[in-house]
Every structure is written in structure tokens, then in C-alpha cells.
Amino acid sequence: MPSSSPTSPWLRGAGPAVPAFLVGFSAIFFSTVYYYHGRAAEFPAFARAFLPAPLQTADALAMWGGVFQCCAALFLLLLPTLLLARFVTKVDLPSLGLKAGEWKWGLAVSLPPAVLVFPLFWFGQQPEAGLCEVYPLSSFAGASLGAFLAWSTCYLVYYIAWEGLFRGVIQLGLGQRFGLVPAMLLQTALSTLLHAGGPELETLAALVAGPVLGLIAVRTGSIFYPLLIHFAAGVATDLSCLHLLD
């Protein structure tokens, strides 16, 4: 983040780290709200409060829960923190990773794992049963090829929100003010904790992926290459779980 004094009058004299602290605190706050209220498992409670009874059948809840989680990720994880980073700390959006960056290096490091993950998941060891009890997030994904492609498009929104917050706002944005390692620790800790209560293998994978994807974002100056790897892994997991359930 910029090292100049805060521009907001009520922050004047509080020190240059305060705006960055507000962004970091908001990331923790909205991540907590998302954990308790934004996941697919929380959709039935949301539906009972806001949707008419005819739309609250078991099949409808199973189908729309994943869509609900994708929208919640966008509106809870990414947009509030992105707006705060833009207008409170006065950074521009490209500096938060919303640019092509060093695209040659980025594609060289992200395309191979993004491609290889599909045969590895499909022909290799099948995912643990606990993982396939969670994924795909929407039962709609397994209805047909067209349904799976439609779901994957929605799923992309989820990963844009995830990478935009953790590798964009926190790693690239807060990293400018607090340094690479503190920002990496924060985004890795938050993204790992959001997997708490899920399959152990997935949580451990998030712990490893945080620093790796963070370094790729720093090296390229972009979130798009971590996004490519993460999205490919998510789609491959869904495909593998659907294959396992056949």
C-alpha cells in the first residue's frame, strides 16, 4: 500500500498503516461472515428466510446451493475488500492483480499444472470420499454436459472472488505496505481457515497452495495465473467426483 499519509480526514495523523489495517481487518471480517453465512450448506437457512416455500424443495436447495455460494463469494469476499482497497488506500486496480502482468512467465508456470490436473485426477487415485460428499457444490453439475459447463461458468466467478481477495487484495495489495511474508501469512491463514470443517486433505492442500499461488501472483503481478491453476483443480475435482459417483 502507498506509504503516504491517509487522505480521509478522520484518519489524519493516525499513521500510514491505518488504511491498510482497515482493508486487512475487513478481509478477516467478511471472510468470517462468508464462512458462517455464505457457503452452500447455509443456503437452506437463507432460502427459508427469503424464498417462497415452493422453491424450497430438497432438489432445488441442492441445485441452487452452489450458485448461492458463488454469489456469496463475490459479494462478501471480493467486492467489499476490493472497494475498500481502491477508495480507502487509493491503490489502482491493476496493482491488485487485475492485469495480464508478466504473461509469458505466468502461462509457462500455470498452463502445465492446469492441463495435467485433469488426467491426474481422472486416471490417478480417486479423491477421498469426504471430498466427493462436498463437491460439486451443486447437484446441477452432474445433470448433463451442458449443465456441467453452465455450472463451471458459475464456478469461475467463485474462483475469481477467491483469488481476487487472497492473492489480489491481500497478497499484492497489503504486501505493498506490510511486506511479502506478512501478507502471504495472512492470506494463507485466512484461505486455510475457510476450509475448516471440510475434508482434511483439502484443508492441507489449501495450506500448501497459499504460499505457492501467492508467489506466482507476486512474480507475475497478476491473479490470473493462480486463478487458472485453482480453477482447473476445482473443475477437475468435480469431474473426478462425478466419475466416482457413476
Residues 105-118 have pLDDT tens digits of 999 999 999 999 98
> Alpha carbon 223 to chain centroid distance?
11
Query: What's the whole-number mean pLDDT along residues 76-105?
Result: 94
pLDDT, one tens digit per residue, over 17-73 is: 788 899 999 999 999 999 999 999 999 998 888 888 888 888 888 889 999 999 999
pLDDT of residue 6: 45
Query: In the numeric block, which cell numbers belong to residue 168?
Result: 489480489
Q: pLDDT-derived band of residue 138, with 50, 70 and 90 as boundaries? A: very high
pLDDT at 125 over 60: no
CB atoms within 10 A of CB 14: 13
Amino acid at 83: L
DSSP 77: I
Distance CA 195, CA 35 (A): 9
d(CA 238, CA 119): 13
Q: What is the pTM of this model?
A: 0.89
Query: In the block, which residue shows the cell 415452493?
Result: 54
The predicted model gives 80-97 an average pLDDT of 93
The count of other CB atoms within 10 Å of the CB of residue 17 is 14
SS3 content of the chain, % helix, strand, coil (to 5): 80, 0, 20
